[in-house]
Amino acid sequence: MSETIFTKIINGEISADIVYEDELCLAFNDINPQAPVHFLVIPKKPVATINDITEADREVVGHLTFVAAKVAKEMGIDHEGYRTVMNCNEFGGQSVYHIHLHVLGGKLLGWPPYTDKPKNLE
């Protein structure tokens, strides 16, 4: 897969507001937050989309959710609640092709996550 901006963040080539790091993953605040709290948890291993997850990635993919919950607790949004989202491809609204778990919180979130009729229901 071609290198994304997230690989550059992992390699320290561009800066990010990092909130957590370990040997498997990195978490940083989203540059264009959609909620008062909005951070991303990404694996250090580049995997383009959820569709590309293999058996070998099971541990790290589970670890993303573990870290999301840990950082959400540290940020004090665990009690009121928050949302985790992983977008996939065009219909999912994915724009960076390196899997990432969005964690959104700090206010009451809307549902469903679209304003127009979704394309697959037209």
Which residues are near ligand AMP by CB under 6 A?
A: 5, 16, 28, 30-32, 40, 87, 93-96
By beta-carbon proximity to ligand AMP, the closer residue of 55 and 110 is 110
* Closest distance to ligand AMP from the beta carbon of 70 (Å): 19
By beta-carbon proximity to ligand AMP, the closer residue of 79 and 95 is 95
100: annotated active-site residue: yes
Of the candidates 38, 98, 100, 102, the residue annotated as catalytic is 100
CA–CA distance, 107 with 36 (Å, rounded to integer): 7
* Closest distance to ligand AMP from the beta carbon of 110 (Å): 16
By beta-carbon proximity to ligand AMP, the closer residue of 29 and 63 is 29
* Closest distance to ligand AMP from the beta carbon of 10 (Å): 11
Return the C-alpha torsion angle 72, 104, 48, 6, nearest 10: -70
CA–CA distance, 25 with 18 (Å, rounded to integer): 11
* Contact present, 113 and 63 (Cβ < 8 Å): no
Cis link prior to 112 (omega < 30° from 0)?
yes
DSSP-derived secondary structure letter, 110: P
* Catalytic residue annotation: 100
